[in-house]
Structure 1
Amino acid sequence: MTIEVPYQPLPVDQSDVRYVHGPDSVVQPGVPAGETIEFAWDDSAIYPGTSRKFWVHVPAQCDPSEPASLMVFQDGWWYLNPEGEVRGAIVLDNLIHRGDIPATIGVFVDPGVFPDAENPKNRNTEYDAFDDRYVSFLLTEIIPQVTKRYSITEDPDRWGICGGSSGGNCAFTAAWLRPDRFRRVIAYLSSFTQMPDGNPYPDLIPRVPRKPLRVFMQAGHRDLRWNEPEWNWLAGNLRVAAALAEAGYDFRLVLGDGGHSPNHGGVLFPDALGWLWRSDDRPDSGVVRS
């Protein structure tokens, strides 16, 4: 099937570009709003001394007798904020109501902070590491708080994880290390170049047996250090995408204009979810220019 894309002139200035949100990113008449519940988590064994909030969004269509799919978001409130760029709960409600994605519970997890420390943020320690601490934190500390209250499927093909910047490579790493639990990934403007020992994925992905992952990536032409020989965020994302292509993964890369801004990824979020949860089993790999 051929899909016609309306003509859109390319901006000459690629640095200061803003994409306009579509209808699935705003509250729609007749779409029932789900319930969002806030939790605090101050008793982490994996990140001792940290405190954080997380939110669970339960769409109105969730039936306790039918286990729901699961989508976990890093930088929780930022992805949940109804006035932000992603507006996660609004998008989930709209797409589930229309039947574009299955009934999916969203778990929006903030990074940890050390309340009394001079440098309280633990975000980069959690998100940029290449180890299983963070995914183990999700699986042993946060998600059990959800599953004891709500019915969540055990099927890893129905578990997704999403993040941007450091949260993007965190989402990818979580699924890479634990594909037995997470198999659907959204990674926006990922900070692969910030990983402490360097970006391992361009070399690693083609060398190991292909994992059962489906990956949606977004990158910006003017992301941080886009024309520099080192710490180039754009190049890091392109290298990971190239490795996924060479290894035959089911992935999609969308390139946009603008810098290290969440705007483009937020606008793409409804389409990313629809592509991620599509029901057919045919690979849909490639680069899309948007």
Structure 2
Amino acid sequence: MVADSAARADEAREAAAAAYRPLSLDDGPVQYVHGPDSSPCPDVPVGSTESFDLLSDVFPGTTRRVWVHVPAGVDPAEPVGVAVFHDGWWYLDPDGEIRGGVVLDNLVHRGEIPPTIGVFVDPGVFPDVEDPEARTNRNAEYDAADDRLARLLLDEVVPEVRRRHVLSDDPSRWAVVGGSSGGNAAFTVAWHRPQRFGRVIGFLSSFAQMPGGNPYSELIARTPRKQLRVLLQAGHRDLGWNEPEHNWFAENLRTAAALAEAGYDARLVLGDGGHDPNHAGVLLPDALRWLWRDVEVR
């Protein structure tokens, strides 16, 4: 038994040393390993998922698919929290990197976050346009700094969800989540509507490609602090990581620094990966726990 314990300790030290070794410039992609919270568990019942299509007035001519995932055991008579995920199916897909529905099932079942449903919203598409690049409205919606996406969520998506579910009115129970352009979209939505979305997760946010540049380091500094709790994740090898301009890594650092200096309840998580969702998927369970760490779960 002592020998086995010593061997396991040696293996743990070797793994830790490998995990934290400096990366050389020619290293390939970093791959993080998902934990048990990101896989279906035999003792956790699978939640239910429904979907609907939405024709938008806020973004004329676009339609989008919305999925609503309800973890098993959520009391339909009790007001429930809401986590809105941009890039809907990418974040819901149980075989993808993020696996948002699986994570919600596990955490809600174990009482590690309050009862919360997931609303997974795809970016808009122009259904009659054949060219794939011209068909999607994703960057126009996600990279803009205005309030149109917040209006789409609150004026068009949420009313449809409320027809089916009783939602909490407490902004600390509402989160908005996204990655890449969806990450700066998540921050933008909460920035314009902090009275509704009090919690934010941005994975590898594409602040660097917002039209006119990243506005948030200056906006955060000169605007009275909003009631937001924000988790940002950045990758050392994100796009333009060693470039003087259009540097995704640097713009996430600037936004995180502005939040810290302004006294926000904010956290920055750094990884060694590039511009891919792997680290975000591994991080999501702990990110959700952190967002709702002080909410009592009955």
With the length of structure 1 as denominator, give the TM-score of the two structures: 0.92
Check if 1:40 corresponds to 2:53.
Answer: yes
CA gap of 1:63–1:196, structure 2 versus 1, over 3 A, is same
Stretches of structure 2 lacking an aligned partner (at least 5 in a row): 1-11
Q: Which residue of 2 aligns with 1:220?
A: 235
* Separation (CA, whole Å) in 1 of partners of 2:98 and 2:17: 22
Secondary structure of the residue that 1:230 maps to in structure 2? coil
> What are the within-5 Å matches in structure 2 for residues 113-128 of structure 1?
113-117=125-129, 118=131, 119-128=134-143
Please provide the CA RMSD for this pair.
Answer: 1.4
Matched to 2:46, the amino acid is A
Q: CA deviation at 1:280?
A: 6.3
Closer/same/farther in 2, CA of residues 48 and 100 from structure 1, 3 Å limit = same
Tell me whether 1:193 sits opposite 2:208 in the alignment: yes
Give aligned pairs, total: 276
Q: In structure 1, what is the Cα distance between the partners aligned to 2:295 and 2:108?
A: 17
Please state if 1:144 is matched with 2:159: yes
2:187 is matched with 172
Is residue 204–residue 233 contact of structure 2 (8 Å, CA) maintained in 1? yes
CA distance in 2, matches of 1:44, 1:53: 11
Contact 1:15 1:257 in 2 (8 A): no
Find the counterpart in structure 1 of residue 42 from structure 2: 29
Q: What's the CA shift string for 1:74-100, capped at 9, x where partnerless?
A: 000000000000100000000011110
1:271 maps onto 2:286 in alignment: yes
Q: How far off its partner does 1:198 sit?
A: 1.1
CA distance in 1 between counterparts of 2:188 and 2:38 reads 27
- 3-state SS, counterpart of residue 135 of structure 2: coil
Q: Which amino acid aligns with 1:30?
A: D
Counterpart residue type for residue 142 of structure 1: V
Question: What is the aligned counterpart of 1:101 among 109, 113, 119?
Answer: 113
By how many angstroms is 1:158 displaced?
0.6
**1:15 touches 1:222 (CA, 8 Å); kept in 2?**
no
Asked if the contact 2:113–2:288 (Cα under 8 Å) also holds between the matched residues in 1, the reply is: yes
Structure 1 residues 225 and 158: CA distance shift in structure 2, 3 A = same
Whose Rg is larger? 2
The answer to whether the 8 Å contact 1:15/1:259 transfers is no
1:13-56, CA deviations, whole angstroms, 9 ceiling, x for partnerless residues? 45511000000000001101110012111x21111111211100
Q: Deviations over 1:223-261 (max 9, x none)?
A: 001011110000000000000010011011110002101
Gap change, CA 1:101 and 1:123, over 3 Å in 2: same
Question: Where do 1:194-273 residues align within 5 Å?
Answer: 194-273=209-288
* 2:81 counterpart of 1:69: yes
Larger helix share, 1 or 2? 2
Q: Does 1:16 align with 2:29?
A: yes
The amino acid that maps onto 1:61 is G
Structure 1 match to 2:3? none
Equivalent position amino acid for 2:216 in 1: Y
Which whole-Å CA distance do the structure 2 matches of 1:229 and 1:34 have between them? 46
Identity, in percent, stands at 63
Given that 2:114 and 2:295 are in contact with CA atoms closer than 8 Å, whether structure 1 keeps it comes out as: no
The residue type equivalent to 1:138 in the other structure is L
Cα distance in 2, alignment partners of residues 48 and 60 from structure 1: 36
Q: Retained in 2: the 8 A contact 1:161–1:184? A: yes
**Local SS of the residue matching 1:163:** strand
Per-residue deviation, 1:204 = 1.1
Query: Partner residue of 2:149?
Result: 134
Q: Which residue, out of 122, 140, 163, partners 1:110?
A: 122
Unaligned runs of 5+ in 1: 282-290
